[in-house]
Amino acid sequence: MIRTLALSIPVIVAASIAGAVDAPPAMKSFVETDVMTWAQSEQVINAITAQNAQTAESSAAQIEAWDTQWRAEVGQDAQPLISDVMGRPLSAFLAEQVAASGGRITEIFVMDALGLNVAASDVTSDYWQGDEDKYSKSYGAGAGAVFVDEVEFDESSQTYQGQVSMALTDPATGEVIGAMTVGLNAEAFF
């Protein structure tokens, strides 16, 4: 049963993105055939689960303090919070996925149940995504949810990109545990 559920999650997410009106067909196809092969991997799920255990009891004030710290560290020499996230094995894995995409992926970041960065391929402009559509319309919408945002200029990646965000689930329980946003280079899909 658990194996069947684990194998069906990517199909549900792929079916959800297939119905996304704003995504060009090439973008949908890429997410379905490439991104979904690793989005629900054990490495991604384990990293989210571990961080959820650490951040579950965090207050709004703590989340705001972390986000403020992250924003202050961007572009600075001393970056303890950013260095922690960027030094994680999952961040290296995400960077490898960006490199292997042939320029189609501009960035990837994974969020925990609170919308905090678990890992990222590149430094994001902020640490807390929980107040943004990429989190609320994926994680907040439940299992299988996919949110395709409008193409716009992204300061972090310095490209025009469309972001595809998806809820990520624990394959053992089917419970939504986090989300992932994949920035796609718009020029590569038009």
String of b and e for 11-47 (b: at least 16 CB within 10 Å)?
A: ebbbebbeeeeebeeebbebbbebbbebbbeeebbeb
* Residue 65 CB neighbour total at 10 angstroms: 13
How high is the pLDDT of residue 114? 98
Q: Which of 148, 184, 178 is nearest to 164 (CA)?
A: 148
User: What pLDDT sits at residue 121?
Assistant: 97
pLDDT at 3: 38
Distance CA(93)–CA(120), nearest Å, equals: 9
Q: pLDDT 10s per residue in the chain (190 long)?
A: 333 334 333 433 443 443 443 556 778 788 888 898 899 999 999 999 999 999 999 999 999 999 999 999 999 999 999 999 999 999 999 999 999 999 999 999 999 999 999 999 999 999 999 999 999 999 999 998 989 888 888 776 677 888 899 999 999 999 999 999 999 998 888 7
C-alpha angle 1-90-113 in degrees, rounded to nearest 5 = 60
Q: How far apart are CA 54 and CA 76, in angstroms?
A: 26
Q: What angle do CA 170, 173, 177 make, to 5 degrees?
A: 35
Beta bridge partner(s), residue 108: 182
Distance between CA 17 and CA 144 in Å, rounded?
9
pLDDT at 68: 97
Sorted by sequence, the CB contacts under 8 Å of residue 130 that are 6+ apart come out as: 63, 111, 114, 115, 116, 136
Enumerate the β-bridge partners of residue 189.
none
Q: What is the pLDDT of residue 26?
A: 79
